[in-house]
Structure formats: structure tokens, C-alpha cells
């Protein structure tokens, strides 16, 4: 088991940092390196923004809730309508970025675990969009 609690971002103490099996350290470091490169690449950021806007439907609207506002007194209450994003939840926001990063890294297949199913739907949707294979796993107790 490898562990790392200090890096250039700070010291994470006894209960923070990275604790993973040695077999996962190399791929995790590859993802971290690819992310740092992509984060600073204007072309990657432009592509991510395009998909978030044109495919996901961001920014999602705010809906004013007058009755909830009235019940709360002077507060004006709004709902951020992530349910209006493609696939019906916020999950796809992260999956778009991860899918683009995986494709940039030359990966042909993505895998996901899902509980209630929303994450699995989002990962599968992005995989289909990007022409990637996809496996989604769901625990027997989650079905």
C-alpha cells in the first residue's frame, strides 16, 4: 500500500492524502498529470465549454420560488435547475470532463460504478457521445 500525505499543495495529516494499492498509483498519477496538462490547455477548455453549453445545457436556469420565499421570511429562494441538464442531473457535468480527459489520454473504454443509476447513465451517455466503450456496474443491493 502506498501513501502520500505531503505534496506541493500542503500537508494533509493523518487522515488525508492518497492511500491506494500500489497497482493503482501509476494510473492515478497518469490521470493527475493529464489533468494538469488539460487544465492549462485552452483548446481542451474550449472543447469542454462547448460540450457543457451545447450538449449538457449549461448554464442551467434558476427558478424563483415565491411560496418558499414567503415561508422563509425576507429571503428570496431560488432553485438551481440541474434537473434540466441532459440526463436529468448534475452528474453529467463531471462526466463530460472525465470523458474528454480519458479520450485525450488515448483511452477507448470507460467504466463506472453507480448506486441509484444517475452516475451510470451520465457516464454511458458521455461514452456514447465520444465514441467510447462503456461498462457500468451496479451492486446487487443497489438494484
SS3 33: helix
What string of DSSP letters covers 40-71?
T-HHHHHHHHHHIIIII-PSPPEEE-HHHHHH
90 catalytic? Reply is yes
Q: How far apart are CA 78 and CA 104, in angstroms?
A: 37
Catalytic residue among 11, 65, 72, 119: 65
119 catalytic? Reply is no
Catalytic residue among 90, 95, 119, 134: 90
Query: What residues act catalytically?
Result: 65, 90
Amino acid at each position: 500500500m502506498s501513501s502520500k500525505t505531503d505534496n506541493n499543495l500542503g500537508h494533509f495529516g493523518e487522515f488525508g492524502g492518497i492511500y491506494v494499492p500500489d497497482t493503482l498509483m501509476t494510473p492515478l498519477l497518469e490521470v493527475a498529470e493529464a489533468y494538469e496538462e488539460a487544465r492549462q490547455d485552452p483548446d481542451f477548455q474550449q472543447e469542454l465549454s462547448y460540450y457543457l453549453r451545447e450538449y449538457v445545457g449549461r448554464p442551467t436556469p434558476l427558478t424563483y420560488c415565491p411560496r418558499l420565499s414567503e415561508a422563509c421570511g425576507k429571503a428570496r429562494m431560488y432553485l438551481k435547475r440541474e434537473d434540466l441538464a441532459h440526463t436529468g442531473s448534475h452528474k453529467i457535468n463531471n462526466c463530460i470532463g472525465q470523458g474528454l480527459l480519458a479520450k485525450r489520454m488515448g483511452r477507448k473504454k470507460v467504466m463506472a460504478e453507480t448506486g441509484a443509476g444517475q452516475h451510470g447513465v451520465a457516464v454511458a451517455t458521455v461514452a456514447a457521445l465520444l465514441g467510447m466503450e462503456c461498462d457500468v456496474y451496479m451492486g446487487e443491493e443497489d438494484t
